[in-house]
Amino acid sequence: MSLSPSFWQGLRAFLPLIPGVLPFSMVAGIAAVQAGFSPVQSIAFSLIGFAGSAQLIASQMVAGGAPLLLIVGSALIVNLRFALYSASMLPFFGGVSTPVRWPLAYLLTDQAYALTMGRPSSATDVVRYYAGAALPMWLTWQVGTVVGALLGTHIPATLPLEFAVPLSFIALVIPALRTRPQVLAAVVSGAVAVAAHALPFRLNLIVGAACGIAAALALQSVRPGQARK
């Protein structure tokens, strides 16, 4: 794929997000090392998984001694949104060959997706704009997790740095709450997850999310107009 003005537009659009992505990726690197990953494993996790929320959750579950299948199942649930992004990006990928589609799919993140959907009308080549936003996102994430993985064991245990993990999630979820069903889903899910906190292996996560989604779907079927606030 050759570079084009659209690629550089996408790249420039990503630059203001770096100060937000970098600390989040450092927290992911630190969390993995503190959960018992070696620095090499932590870096490999970022390269192979490249999924912020899933990396953080998996690290916490490894630290809690959860079984492998449950960890991978939780990553599946947390990353289901990628299937949604993948479906809504498909119309732009008309002339793109399969060998190019794989790496472009691998680069799909919340940030690259949001930038591409909000691109200016002057970005005529959507796929190259997307690639321009997605590549520096990948690089920023990798640099941040390497730094976090190398710092991880040197951070005193008295610092409540693990609190940066829920704070990172708060920073992600608040801008994502756009409709009333989404807000209801979040409130119900959070309340159930707290009520069910005594369940082993963070199963309260799955029970809470299922109840939240069920509540929001029930609201949508009772009042269909609420779906688009």
| Binders of other proteins in range 1-30 (CB under 8 A) | 19-24, 27
The reply to whether 175 sits near other proteins by the rule CB under 8 A is: yes
Q: How far is the CB of 139 from other proteins (least distance, A)?
A: 17
Angle value at C-alpha 201, between 84 and 28, nearest 5 degrees: 60
- Measured from the CB atom, the residue of 3 and 217 that comes closer to other proteins is 217
The reply to whether 205 sits near other proteins by the rule CB under 8 A is: yes
- Measured from the CB atom, the residue of 136 and 212 that comes closer to other proteins is 212
- Measured from the CB atom, the residue of 7 and 24 that comes closer to other proteins is 24
The reply to whether 68 sits near other proteins by the rule CB under 8 A is: yes
Interface with other proteins (CB under 8 A), residue from 36, 117, 139, 218: 36
- Measured from the CB atom, the residue of 5 and 147 that comes closer to other proteins is 147
- Measured from the CB atom, the residue of 5 and 20 that comes closer to other proteins is 20
CA dist 88 and 130 (Å) reads 13
Query: Are 29 and 149 spatial neighbours (Cβ–Cβ below 8 Å)?
Result: yes
The reply to whether 53 sits near other proteins by the rule CB under 8 A is: yes
Q: How far is the CB of 61 from other proteins (least distance, A)?
A: 8
Q: How far is the CB of 119 from other proteins (least distance, A)?
A: 17
What residues between 111 and 150 interact with other proteins by CB under 8 A?
A: none
The reply to whether 34 sits near other proteins by the rule CB under 8 A is: no
Q: How far is the CB of 30 from other proteins (least distance, A)?
A: 12
- Measured from the CB atom, the residue of 5 and 182 that comes closer to other proteins is 182
CA-based nearest residue to 28, from 173, 164, 201:
164
Interface with other proteins (CB under 8 A), residue from 4, 142, 182, 226: 182
